[in-house]
Amino acid sequence: MPRQPRLDTPGLLQHVMARGIERREIFKDDKDRKAFLERLAIILEETQTQCYAWSLIPNHFHLLIRTGPTPLSKVMRRLMTGYAVTFNKRHKRSGHLFQNRYKSVVCEEDPYLLELVRYIHLNPLRAGLVDDLKELDKYPWTSHSTILGHRKNPLIPSNFKKGSLSAHGGLRFRSSVREERKQNINQVNPVNPVQNKKSLAEKTAEDILLHFGDTLKGARRRYRQFVKNGIDQGNRPELHGGGLVRSAGGDKTGLLGRKKEEREKGDERILGSGDFVSEILKKSNELQENSPKIPLEQLANRVIAYFGIKIEDILGKSQKNKISMARSVICYFAIKKMEYSGISVGKFLKIRRYSALRCAERGKKVFETDKKLWDILYIK
């Protein structure tokens, strides 16, 4: 069954996961992990994307992200392609690092934000990378230790406003904000708002703790207890199941006796109630209807200009590497990104529908390795 298009609307909360190809390691040592986080920090700040939780496991990673004006696809492409290049160069290897494309699940915020933060932060414990919660509290490769204040926040870019509180990873909580307002009102040692500028990563960590209290110490204590309570819950299927199972909280038995029209709306790309699923799908359909869809001839002209060939080349039967690659790129972008049918694309290129679909699969690999193509052809 072909994959459904991503749900990539600005402002959505998304649980993002990616594995190494053939489940191989994507982080061989701490230097790899630091390189990944440094890249992630820069991208998040530049694109104003919030990351509420992250966890690095040797062969995969988890991120809980809220997108800003930049689509998640662009954020992840910059992160994964850039990191793969760095990893391959350092370890003297070539080829794909990640298994297929990343997986992303749109999440309903009210019931799932904190549950997913806890679930992601407990990943190292479930994977046997740490023995207990006490060890997890200081484990550097998940954001749990950052929220507790045991480690500097690695998602604050190293070049962020040197000399400010944010540059040192400090977390100014709501109580301290109130004190600053008092100082300014009374004109006693007024606080310079520029000096107190916080990075997005710092604000996001504060957002999590504010769910647990108004004082930093109390919020951290209650947050840690919340994480501790989740240890015995194990690998929770309701947080990563699919379709109707996800909407039913992971329990299939409640769906067996129901008629189809009585079942709650479900979608494997969405974690949430039936109403939330319907709302997201409606918005997604509206966006797709309003999204630009350039003519196939215009698309083909862009591609042949990029590859330095003629239109007659791709409409012919030549199997030369450059021509075959250009044909595959056209098929991939037209079928997978602009949702042209295989029949219409095949007719335009004078090939069979099945051949057009196969070309689209080959074109995907070209897009994953050539970032310039995304810059030239990608349509928001």
Tokens 């999204």, located at residue: 291
CA distance 217 to 187: 28
Question: Domain extents for the chain?
Answer: 1-235, 296-377
Q: Which of 7-16, 27-36, 47-56, 183-192 has the lowest mean pLDDT?
A: 183-192
| Pair 60, 19: CB distance under 8 Å | yes
The model's pLDDT over 261-274, given as tens digits with 9 standing for 90+, comes to: 444 445 567 776 66
CA distance 156 to 169: 7
CA distance 211 to 366: 44
Q: Is the pLDDT of residue 45 over 70?
A: yes
| Pair 191, 148: CB distance under 8 Å | no
Q: What is the pLDDT of residue 110?
A: 78
Q: What stretch of H or E contains 53?
A: strand 50-57
Q: What is the pLDDT of residue 60?
A: 95
Q: What is the pLDDT of residue 116?
A: 92
Nearest to 314 by CA among 302, 337, 207: 302
The model's pLDDT over 177-187, given as tens digits with 9 standing for 90+, comes to: 444 444 443 44
The model's pLDDT over 231-256, given as tens digits with 9 standing for 90+, comes to: 987 666 556 544 444 444 444 444 44
The model's pLDDT over 83-142, given as tens digits with 9 standing for 90+, comes to: 999 999 999 999 899 987 788 888 777 778 899 999 999 999 999 999 999 999 999 999
Superfamily in which the 296-377 domain is placed by CATH = DnaA protein, C-terminal DNA-binding domain (1.10.1750.10)
Q: Is the pLDDT of residue 350 over 70?
A: yes
Q: What is the pLDDT of residue 251?
A: 46
CA distance 143 to 222: 16
| Pair 51, 201: CB distance under 8 Å | yes
Any idea how long the chain is?
A: 380
Q: What is the pLDDT of residue 257?
A: 46
CA distance 103 to 230: 24
Q: Is the pLDDT of residue 207 over 50?
A: yes
Q: Which of 15-24, 145-154, 365-374 has the lowest mean pLDDT?
A: 365-374
Q: What is the pLDDT of residue 147?
A: 96
Q: Residue 289: phi, psi to the nearest 5?
A: -65, -30
- CATH class label, 1-235: alpha beta
The model's pLDDT over 165-181, given as tens digits with 9 standing for 90+, comes to: 333 334 455 444 444 44
* Between 79 and 333, the higher pLDDT residue: 79
Q: Is the pLDDT of residue 260 over 50?
A: no
Q: Is the pLDDT of residue 31 over 90?
A: yes
